[in-house]
């Protein structure tokens, strides 16, 4: 049998010259070509006739449609306004036009009479009653293909043809022909990349069949099965890597074994002004078991804003500290690090511990002093920002690292700090409630603990959408709350300074305005990202000690700080912020047992005015969702305070990369699968992958040799975790 590894030049009709162009785009062998997948398909059942299309449009249908036709005429039209190209097509039911205002010369040369095209776009009907597509997407079909297609209901694959190939005269047809040839002659010789047991167990198509179906599908059903197989494999290998990494940390690295001093710990718990909630206790129990074991802890603590993670962090650190270890707590901003420092110093007052702080902005002398105290072991708990990562910070006996608000940190930084102890226990805390699919991919190697409910005394924050012309009423309300209940308020603006380019409101400008209008008789502070850190500190401190009634702010207040008496937040230009950002901002209030309020102010009115009171986008089309994104975000926020629900919605609206910033997130680059749409496949692949590693952590069994080989090829640079010989 032929080998699929055959260099591409030996595929019939390619030859050495064209092979160079293929190699340039990464297609070196026939196998590479077989894995160059179509970007879309033309399926006859999804095509409309010109007739049907016409009636769809006439009835107000606004989605993109596809229609197939033969070019019958083309002409350049000089209208009184603008020159454009009009290409007229014919199908069995009638005529329709494609119209191009740009690239006229190119398109005129491209559309030739007698050629067949599939045209896709949102059509319109002109005032002369013609069906018209403006700058549509188009794919060229060969006459015979078109006949085939129309008569037999065949599905035609479309490939993206890179420029290098087009220059060598490899166009749509010739590429399809090449692929067809490659599939017919070589697909059967492609080697299976999943173990037989998994292919059979999960009822997957063998790789050879999948490749055939992806390029030469005969039915939609077969096509779905083929893509399923490909996506499964992609998720599977990713999860296999995660499973191996987890098993490596668990079984091959020796961690600390902390002996928890129960007596001291109890004394500490008794000194707290509140009782821990059930969730906090059960999370602490999980953490304690991890710490007492000689395996390193690698745990993610999820808990919505205000759920009480800080105290869990502190108690975990005390478990280590009371038995002679040092602990480090890392926060994303200096404000937050300082707040933790102050809070923790106060709470541990009676226990004779030394607490230190490491910040980027520290003076050299101060810094050197703390560094030496860390190295000598004098300091028990160190709190800091990423400055904690720097090379001259060396712990004497680091037992536990806690990372607060993880999503702000890169994955590499995490690894770097972890290297500082021998292998300290690690607890990562996040307030971004991560949808399950994401946490599985992003944190699949971690054990997960969740604080599901905030302390019981907490009331749900009342959230309102309001337009700008209601500002009078809003400030009446704010003043009433300040006067009668001594509430404090955050007033958030999207920008620091007035901007020429952006229309959004700025904090500095409105700070001045508010002092002269609504809040004349009140004490108003200002905080923003362009202030020096000590100025920001000072502001937060003053706000905390109630020297201001209101604090005008930018998103610097977004993360973590705790002002229990601030119970109102007004967010101006709320449409400007992302959903998870708004949720975080809102989380700055409602941190005590008083009723808190969040008012989202926008210029336009986005409030849902349907007959039923819930705003649902379950049944919206993608295009409708796209158009209504802002309204969906804002109404979702008003309707629920459940961070997990909101993050699911956010994921649907924005996609996974955008939530975390793709580069920083450490998310795998997925070529075929999508963790939102293909969640079911992801779960199934994860189950298989973890099952394999559970039984055979070093992949030594005969049936797993294919895995060993494939994972080495695909993840060369992850070898640190691949203890598979
Ligand atoms: P986050 O999870 O957002 O970091 P914090 O740890 O800052 O939340 O906690 C928010 C507030 O709740 C703090 O003022 C904290 O003191 C308080 N808190 C934490 N645990 C409890 C509890 N069990 N009962 C009452 N209040 C609590
Ligand atoms: Mg916090």
Atom of ligand 1 nearest to the CA of 307: 2
Asked if 400 and 523 sit in the same domain, the reply is no
Residue 264 pLDDT level (bands cut at 50, 70, 90):
very high
Asked if 598 and 474 sit in the same domain, the reply is yes
Tell which wins on pLDDT, 253 or 195. Answer: 195
From 284, 306, 308, the mutation candidate for ligand 1 (largest count of ligand atoms within 8 A of CB) is 308
Domain boundary among 609, 640, 671: 640
695 CB burial (10 A radius; 0-12, 13-18, 19+): exposed
Residue 227: per-residue pLDDT: 96
Asked if 494 and 546 sit in the same domain, the reply is yes
Residue 558: per-residue pLDDT: 67
Q: Is the CB of 433 under 6 A from ligand 1?
A: no
State the residue for tokens 């599985």: 440
454 domain-assigned: no
> Residue 645 contacts by C-beta under 8 Å, 6 or more apart in sequence?
636
State the residue for tokens 């509430």: 487
Residue 664 has pLDDT above 60, yes or no: no
Asked if 317 and 379 sit in the same domain, the reply is yes
Give 131-181 pLDDT, tens digit per residue: 999 988 888 887 777 666 666 667 888 888 888 888 887 877 788 889 999
How many angstroms separate the alpha carbon of residue 340 from the centre of ligand 2? 9
What's the CA dihedral at 474, 476, 479, 483 to 10 degrees?
A: -140
Asked if 474 and 509 sit in the same domain, the reply is yes
What's the CA dihedral at 153, 154, 158, 164 to 10 degrees?
A: -140
691 domain-assigned: no
Ligand nearest to the CA of 276: 1
Q: Among 378-392, 596-610, 689-703, which range has the highest average pLDDT?
A: 689-703
From 282, 301, 304, 310, the mutation candidate for ligand 1 (largest count of ligand atoms within 8 A of CB) is 310
In CATH, what number is assigned to the domain containing residue 172? Answer: 1.10.150.20
Residue 407 pLDDT level (bands cut at 50, 70, 90):
low
In 10 A of CB 644, how many CB atoms?
16
Query: Mean of the per-residue pLDDT values for the chain?
Result: 86
Closest C-alpha to ligand 1, atom 12: 308
How many angstroms separate the alpha carbon of residue 696 from the centre of ligand 2? 39
Residue 257 has pLDDT above 80, yes or no: yes
Residue 657 has pLDDT above 70, yes or no: no
How many angstroms separate the alpha carbon of residue 559 from the centre of ligand 2? 8
Interval 622-629 mean pLDDT? 75
Ligand nearest to the CA of 274: 1
Asked if 410 and 376 sit in the same domain, the reply is yes
546 domain-assigned: yes
pTM: 0.71
Q: Is the CB of 656 under 6 A from ligand 1?
A: no
Domain boundary among 606, 640, 674: 640
From 272, 306, 347, the mutation candidate for ligand 1 (largest count of ligand atoms within 8 A of CB) is 306
Whole-angstrom distance, CA of residue 93 vs CA of residue 81: 32
How many angstroms separate the alpha carbon of residue 343 from the centre of ligand 2? 12
Atom of ligand 1 nearest to the CA of 277: 23
Asked if 33 and 80 sit in the same domain, the reply is no
Atom of ligand 1 nearest to the CA of 275: 23
In CATH, what number is assigned to the domain containing residue 147? Answer: 2.40.50.140
Residue 724: per-residue pLDDT: 47
Q: Is the CB of 562 under 6 A from ligand 1?
A: yes
655 domain-assigned: no
Asked if 313 and 381 sit in the same domain, the reply is yes
Residue 550: per-residue pLDDT: 95
Asked if 490 and 611 sit in the same domain, the reply is yes
Asked if 150 and 168 sit in the same domain, the reply is no
Residue 129: per-residue pLDDT: 85
Using a CB cutoff of 5 Å, list residues around ligand 2, an ion: 560
> Residues of the chain with pLDDT > 70: what percent?
89
Atom of ligand 1 nearest to the CA of 564: 14
Give 311-343 pLDDT, tens digit per residue: 999 999 999 999 999 999 998 878 788 889 989
Give 91-134 pLDDT, tens digit per residue: 988 999 999 998 899 899 999 999 989 888 888 888 888 999 99
**Strands of the 83-91 sheet, one edge to the other:** 124-125, 131-134, 94-100, 83-91, 65-78, 116-121, 137-141
Q: Is the CB of 455 under 6 A from ligand 1?
A: yes
User: What is the number of domains present in the chain?
Assistant: 4
Asked if 517 and 375 sit in the same domain, the reply is no
Residue 374 has pLDDT above 60, yes or no: yes
Tell which wins on pLDDT, 376 or 499. Answer: 376
Residue 372 pLDDT level (bands cut at 50, 70, 90):
very high
**CB of 392 closer than 8 Å to CB of 358:** no
Residue 619 pLDDT level (bands cut at 50, 70, 90):
low
692 domain-assigned: no
85 domain-assigned: yes
Residue 603 has pLDDT above 50, yes or no: yes
DSSP string, 179-205: HHHHHHHHGGGSPP-S-HHHHHHTTPP
205 domain-assigned: no
Of 246-255, 355-364, 451-460, the least confident: 246-255
Closest C-alpha to ligand 1, atom 23: 276
Residue 660 has pLDDT above 60, yes or no: no
Residue 611: per-residue pLDDT: 45
What range defines the domain where residue 94 resides? Answer: 42-158
444 domain-assigned: no
Residue 437: per-residue pLDDT: 72
3-state secondary structure at position 578? coil
Residue 595 pLDDT level (bands cut at 50, 70, 90):
very high
Residue 663 has pLDDT above 50, yes or no: no
Asked if 515 and 598 sit in the same domain, the reply is yes
Residue 446 has pLDDT above 60, yes or no: yes
Q: Is the CB of 278 under 6 A from ligand 1?
A: no
In CATH, what number is assigned to the domain containing residue 485? Answer: 3.40.50.300
**CB of 397 closer than 8 Å to CB of 321:** no
Instruction: Give which of 615, 712, 642 is closest to 452, Cα–Cα.
Output: 642
Residue 701 has pLDDT above 80, yes or no: yes
Tokens of 488: 């404090």
How many angstroms separate the alpha carbon of residue 273 from the centre of ligand 1? 11
């Amino acid at each position: 049998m032929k080998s699929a590894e055959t260099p591409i030049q030996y595929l019939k009709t390619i030859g050495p010259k064209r092979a160079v162009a293929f190699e340039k785009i990464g297609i070196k062998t026939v196998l590479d070509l077989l894995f160059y997948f179509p970007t879309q398909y033309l399926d006859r059942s999804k095509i409309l006739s010109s007739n049907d299309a016409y009636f769809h449009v006439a009835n107000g249908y606004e989605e993109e449609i596809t229609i197939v036709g033969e070019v019958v005429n083309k002409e350049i039209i000089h209208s009184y306004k603008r020159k454009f190209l009009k290409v007229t097509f014919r199908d069995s039911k009638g005529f329709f036009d494609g119209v191009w205002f740009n690239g006229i010369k190119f398109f005129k040369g491209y559309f030739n009479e007698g050629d067949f095209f599939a045209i896709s776009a949102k059509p319109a009907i002109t005032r002369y009653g013609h069906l018209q597509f403006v700058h549509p997407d188009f794919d060229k079909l060969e006459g015979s293909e078109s006949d085939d297609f129309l008569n037999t209901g065949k599905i035609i694959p479309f490939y993206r043809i890179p420029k290098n190939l087009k220059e060598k005269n490899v166009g749509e047809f010739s590429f399809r022909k090449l692929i067809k040839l490659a599939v017919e002659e070589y697909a059967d010789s492609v080697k299976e990349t999943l173990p037989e047991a998994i292919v059979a167990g999960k009822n997957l198509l063998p790789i050879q069949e999948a490749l055939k179906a992806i390029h030469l599908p005969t039915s939609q059903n077969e096509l779905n099965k083929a893509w399923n197989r490909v996506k499964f494999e992609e998720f599977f290998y990713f999860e296999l890597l995660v499973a191996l990494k987890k098993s490596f940390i668990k079984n091959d690295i020796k961690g600390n074994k902390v002996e928890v001093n129960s007596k001291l710990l109890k004394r500490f718990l008794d000194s707290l002004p509140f009782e821990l909630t059930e969730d906090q206790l059960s999370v602490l129990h999980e953490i304690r078991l991890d710490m007492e074991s000689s395996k390193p802890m690698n745990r993610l603590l999820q808990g919505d804003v205000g759920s009480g993670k800080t105290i869990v962090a502190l108690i975990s650190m005390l478990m280590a500290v009371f038995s002679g270890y040092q602990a480090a707590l890392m926060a994303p901003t200096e404000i937050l690090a300082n707040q933790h420092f102050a809070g923790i110093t106060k709470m541990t007052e009676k226990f004779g511990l030394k607490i230190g702080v490491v910040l980027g902005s520290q003076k050299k002398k101060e810094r050197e002093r703390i560094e030496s105290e860390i190295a000598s072991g004098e300091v028990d708990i160190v709190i800091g920002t990423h400055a904690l990562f720097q090379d001259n910070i060396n712990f004497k006996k680091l037992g536990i690292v806690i990372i607060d608000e993880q999503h702000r940190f890169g994955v590499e930084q995490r690894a770097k700090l972890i290297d500082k102890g021998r292998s300290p226990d690690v607890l990562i805390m996040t307030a971004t409630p991560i949808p399950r699919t994401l946490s599985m991919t992003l944190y699949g190697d971690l054990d997960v603990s969740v604080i599901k409910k905030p302390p019981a005394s907490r009331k749900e924050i009342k959230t309102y959408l309001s337009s700008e012309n209601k500002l009078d009423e809003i400030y009446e309300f704010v003043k009433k709350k300040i006067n009668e209940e001594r509430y404090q308020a955050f007033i958030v603006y999207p920008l620091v300074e007035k901007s020429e380019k952006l229309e959004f409101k700025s904090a500095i400008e409105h700070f001045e305005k508010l002092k002269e209008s609504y809040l004349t008789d009140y004490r108003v502070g200002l905080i923003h990202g362009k202030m020096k850190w000590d100025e920001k500190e000072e502001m937060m401190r003053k706000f905390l000690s109630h020297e201001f009634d209101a604090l005008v702010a930018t998103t610097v207040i977004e993360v973590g700080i705790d002002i229990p008496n601030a119970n109102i937040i007004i967010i101006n230009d709320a449409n400007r912020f992302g959903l998870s950002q708004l949720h975080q901002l809102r989380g700055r209030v409602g941190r005590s047992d008083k009723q808190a309020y969040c008012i989202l102010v926008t210029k336009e009115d986005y409030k849902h005015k349907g007959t039923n009171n819930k705003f649902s986008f379950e049944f919206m089309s993608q295009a409708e969702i796209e158009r209504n994104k802002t309204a969906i975000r804002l109404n979702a926020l008003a309707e629920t305070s459940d961070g997990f629900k909101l993050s699911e919605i956010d994921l649907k609206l924005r996609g996974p990369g955008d939530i975390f910033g793709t580069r920083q997130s450490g998310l795998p680059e997925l070529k075929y699968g999508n963790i939102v749409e293909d969640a079911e496949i992801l779960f199934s692949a994860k189950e298989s992958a973890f099952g394999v590693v559970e039984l055979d952590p070093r992949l030594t069994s005969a049936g797993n040799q294919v895995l060993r080989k494939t994972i080495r090829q695909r993840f060369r640079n992850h070898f640190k975790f691949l203890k598979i010989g």
